[in-house]
Amino acid sequence: MAHIHLGEGSFPLWALVLWSVLGIGLLGVATYRVRKNGIKTSQVALAGIGAAASFAVFQLNLPVWGGIHMNLTGLVGILAGPLLGAVIALVVNVFSAALGHGAVGLLGANVLVNATEAIIAYYAFRTLMRTDWDVFPASASAATLGLSAGAVLMGVIIVVSGVNGSALPRSDLAIAVAGMVGLNLGVAVVEGLLTGFIVQFLASIRPDLVPGVTRTERETADGVSA
């Protein structure tokens, strides 16, 4: 989903420093809370699988408007949680940048974008499940919401930072970026639906792997009436 595909040196130095500091701060909080609260073995396994799946999908890039792709960060956030979701966002972006997919200097900005997707998807899913939503609509809606937030944040980061060497005035840049964000919002819906099917399938065979799913929702996912 949302990912800044600009090359090295595209952002001015102050913007690189700002987004890097914010990204490091977010990761610092996530790492501290993971170390303090600990994590379950199942979460570690899910984090590993989620990171591998996200990285693989990340590389399937469509050369449209600078490049669009799915990244499964909404799914990662729902299953692994917001803390590990943020760490996975870093891991996936580091390895992707090593392959030339994304600039190293934009790691901070891209981690912010993708971690936001995972965090919002997780909390939205938990909130919807508490209000008696079924697994599929809750996970699909939560993932779509998280991915949409990431797309908007990506656009804000680009417009606020500006692009070195661009002849476009800031207003024209905002219009161009808005088109890219709109395209990503469309992809968010598709990825949200895919996430919904995956989470519903997992809830039907291994409900213990889906945080926030109660006994009633597990039976519903299995097609068994309570």
- On the question of pLDDT at 1 being above 80, the answer is no
Residues 6+ apart with CB under 8 A from 167: none
Say if residue 108's pLDDT is above 60: yes
Over residues 168-175, the mean pLDDT reads 87
Could you give the percent of the chain with pLDDT greater than 90? 55
Confidence at 41, pLDDT banded by 50, 70, 90: confident
| pLDDT value of position 225 | 36
- What pLDDT does 7 receive? 86
Which pLDDT does position 71 carry in this prediction?
87
What's the confidence (pLDDT) of residue 100?
83
Mean predicted confidence (pLDDT) in 45-59: 85
In the predicted model, what is the mean pLDDT of residues 32-40?
86
| Dihedrals phi, psi of 94, to nearest 5 degrees | -65, -50
- Indicate whether 215 pLDDT > 80: no
Average pLDDT over residues 201-226: 67
Buried b / exposed e along 21-55 (16+ C-beta atoms within 10 A): eebeebbeebeeebeeeebeeebeebbeebbebbb
Three-state SS for 92? Answer: helix
Q: What is the mean pLDDT of residues 90-95?
A: 92
> At 58, is the secondary structure helix, strand, or coil?
helix
Domain boundaries, the chain: 13-215
pLDDT above 70: percentage of residues in the chain: 92
Q: Between 9 and 117, where is the model more confident?
A: 117
pTM of the model: 0.87
* Mean per-residue pLDDT over the chain, rounded: 87
Output 64 or 167, whichever has higher pLDDT.
Answer: 167
197 within 8 A of 138, measured Cβ to Cβ: no
To the question of domain 13-215 being in CATH 3.60.40.10, the answer is no
pLDDT grade for 143, boundaries at 50, 70 and 90: very high
